[in-house]
Amino acid sequence: MAKKGILKRISGPVVEVKDLDNAKLYDVVKVGDEGLIGEIIKIVGNISVVQVYEDTTGLKPGEPVVSTGEPLSVELGPGILKNIYDGIQRPLKDIEAKSGFYIKRGVDVPALPRDIKWEFTAKVKAGDRVKVGDVLGEVPETDLITHKVLSPHEGKIENIKSGKYTVDDSIGNISTGGKKKPLFLYQKWFVRTPRPYSEKFPPIIPLITGQRVVDTFFPISKGGTAAIPGPFGSGKTVTQQSLAKYSDTEIVVYIGCGERGNEMTEVLTEFPHLTDEKTGKPLMERTVLIANTSNMPVAAREASIYTGITIAEYYRDMGYNVALMADSTSRWAEALREIGGRLEEMPGEEGYPAYLARKLAEFYERSGRIRTMGTDERFGSISIIGAVSPPGGDISEPVSQNTLRVTKVFLALDASLAQRRHFPAINWLKSYSLYKESLDEWLRTNVSTEFPSLRDKAMELLQKEAELQEIVQLVGPDALPDKEQAILLVTKMLREDFLQQNAYSDVDAKASFEKQNLMLKCIMTFHEKAMFAVDAGVQLKRIQEAACIPKIGRMKEIREEELSKIKEIMKEIDVEFTALAKK
């Protein structure tokens, strides 16, 4: 029976309720006459402190509060993909249909569609014993993704039948612990509880993103974590969209956490029109969007991160590789700060709560490549790429620092590069990846034995360029010896012809590892020949006028099926420098 309490005090999204019987921490409650959804976050005596996920304007002390008796949970089943949810898994399209363009308070809509009949094909039969996480059957959720219905219990299948079902229809029964329980196409899961797995693996397989600066110099592992801090206008959202579109994952979960309305609108309008590279079908067929703009209630922003990661874990448990984009965790931390202030908690650095570092670590810890629960062997992964929006681009602030402490890849977006129209605007001297060494073995086996050493030599050249640029600013480039000027010529190629990538070009937006390896090898071959030529007394001007230089500049526009053209350029470099040396 629902236990009613009385609203006592209201402070923005935080309200106090007295005499709420059997109140438990993190239980969901319905606040006021309109039944606004909230969550108990603190209990002192007979006073329950509730954070409300909707606008509290107009609430009055004395209104009733009813507890649902269970924590904030999400519905996991067919119908999640192609959907756009708010921070607590309410479908925005259904809310619009019910309340119009302006979201009314207290709108109660189910997370999964109740009217769609899904075609269920059973993979077990009556009498089979199943474990938690075993696949009971399959549903074709979209044209790209087959939804695997997982067993929530361990026990013996009493009966199960293929057919067409809504998520509310029972597909069979299971006998567990001496009780008979019905089975459905969906299950509920508490968002703050990580879903279990059998085993977690070390990061030895790369997440192939198609972005040269990431894959070659700052690789992310499958099941890894990456932080993209950067000031306004440096391209965080476009970088995340490129990673979502081109990475070799099957499922994309995009959390727009506290972003500006116009940015979120751009994502919501662009994602449905993006095409999946592998199949040519819409990217939304394998995507779920969680939209929580900066003008939406602040408490729901705090919950949106957990909603997103729980959905990601569910698809991981089916055996899929999931890319989770959190844009941006700074706004999530601001929500924590605001709620902490309303609760009159002791503030930490810059007003953020003292537990900020723990909350960030708990979130990023839910990533990883794992063996799933169940008898059959399935492997899945969640790779988390979190954008951070530090005020003024200053990454010394607490959110950036605590994020860098728990993530293994740092992609430093640079406003000065963005202003020079160098995209992706990832600063190659400030960024780093701690996965590099553990992924080298995979790269030697699957790409090329010389790829890691080519990459390291290229990075040495880029660092050397930074030193030379300081001298150039003082005395000009002509004062440098020929060898150093030749290095600047090669590093210009690395910057403009390799690191720069056009996200809006059909050919250049994505590059396979094979193409990246050939492009890098081509530039490093030119470097080797140029150094040899300078030592042999060839004039620098002759090297700068080489006919192969413009061809190297056009390598990025060579299609994947025509990669032999890059090998031809390498042969031309060889021929041209041999001729120069003879002259």
- CATH of residue 176's domain is 2.40.50.100
The residue among 274 and 566 whose pLDDT is bigger is: 566
Contact present, 24 and 49 (Cβ < 8 Å): no
Average pLDDT, stretch 22-32?
91
pLDDT digits (tens, 9 = 90+) for 293-320: 777 778 888 889 999 999 999 999 999 9
Q: Per the domain annotation, does 324 fall within a domain?
A: yes
pLDDT of residue 409: 97
For 244, phi then psi, to 5°, come to -65, -40
pLDDT digits (tens, 9 = 90+) for 327-338: 889 989 998 998
Q: Per the domain annotation, does 228 fall within a domain?
A: yes
Q: Tell me which residue range forms the domain holding 572.
A: 451-582
Contact present, 459 and 482 (Cβ < 8 Å): no
Average pLDDT, stretch 123-131?
94
Beta-carbon neighbour count of residue 101 at 10 Å? 5
| Domain edge (last residue) among 409, 437, 471 | 409
Number of domains in the chain: 4
| Domain edge (last residue) among 185, 215, 248 | 185
The residue among 300 and 182 whose pLDDT is bigger is: 182
Average pLDDT, stretch 562-583?
92
Per-residue pLDDT for 232 more than 80? no
**What is the spatial distance between Cα 350 and Cα 229, in angstroms, rounded to a whole number?**
18
Q: Which residues contact 475 (CB under 8 A, 6 or more apart)?
A: none
Same domain? For 498 and 400 the reply is no
CATH number, domain containing residue 474: 1.10.1140.10
Q: Per the domain annotation, does 476 fall within a domain?
A: yes
Identify the band that residue 15 occupies on the pLDDT scale cut at 50, 70 and 90.
very high
Per-residue pLDDT for 26 more than 80? yes
pLDDT digits (tens, 9 = 90+) for 261-298: 777 777 777 777 777 777 778 888 899 999 887 777 78
Per-residue pLDDT for 257 more than 80? yes
Tokens of residue 450, six digits? 């010389």
Same domain? For 243 and 157 the reply is no
Same domain? For 211 and 345 the reply is yes
Q: Per the domain annotation, does 574 fall within a domain?
A: yes
Q: Which amino acid is at 458?
A: A
pLDDT of residue 236: 82
Contact present, 388 and 397 (Cβ < 8 Å): no
Same domain? For 221 and 345 the reply is yes
User: Pick from 11, 39, 24, 35: which is nearest to 306 by CA?
Assistant: 39
Per-residue pLDDT for 526 more than 90? yes
Average pLDDT, stretch 347-356?
91
Q: What percent of the chain has pLDDT over 70?
A: 99
Same domain? For 212 and 293 the reply is yes
CATH number, domain containing residue 316: 3.40.50.300
Same domain? For 176 and 216 the reply is no
Same domain? For 132 and 229 the reply is no
Per-residue pLDDT for 344 more than 90? no
Q: Per the domain annotation, does 557 fall within a domain?
A: yes
Average pLDDT, stretch 11-26?
90
CA angle 500, 501, 507 (to 5 degrees): 145
**What is the spatial distance between Cα 78 and Cα 111, in angstroms, rounded to a whole number?**
11
Same domain? For 401 and 455 the reply is no
| Domain edge (last residue) among 378, 409, 440 | 409
Same domain? For 241 and 367 the reply is yes
Same domain? For 465 and 336 the reply is no
Per-residue pLDDT for 101 more than 80? no
Residue entry with tokens 């006919």: 547
pLDDT of residue 192: 92
pLDDT of residue 1: 44
Q: Per the domain annotation, does 394 fall within a domain?
A: yes
Per-residue pLDDT for 196 more than 90? yes
Q: What is the pTM of this model?
A: 0.93
Residue entry with tokens 């959202």: 237
CATH number, domain containing residue 38: 2.40.30.20
Contact present, 455 and 520 (Cβ < 8 Å): yes
Same domain? For 181 and 56 the reply is no
Q: Which amino acid is at 387?
A: A
pLDDT of residue 490: 96
Same domain? For 67 and 126 the reply is no
pLDDT digits (tens, 9 = 90+) for 392-440: 778 899 999 999 999 999 999 988 898 898 989 999 999 999 999 999 9
CA dihedral sign, ordered 134, 137, 141, 146: positive
Q: Per the domain annotation, does 422 fall within a domain?
A: no
Q: Beta 225-229 vs 409-410: how paired, if at all?
A: parallel
Identify the band that residue 106 occupies on the pLDDT scale cut at 50, 70 and 90.
confident
pLDDT of residue 3: 57
Q: Per the domain annotation, does 340 fall within a domain?
A: yes
Per-residue pLDDT for 570 more than 90? yes
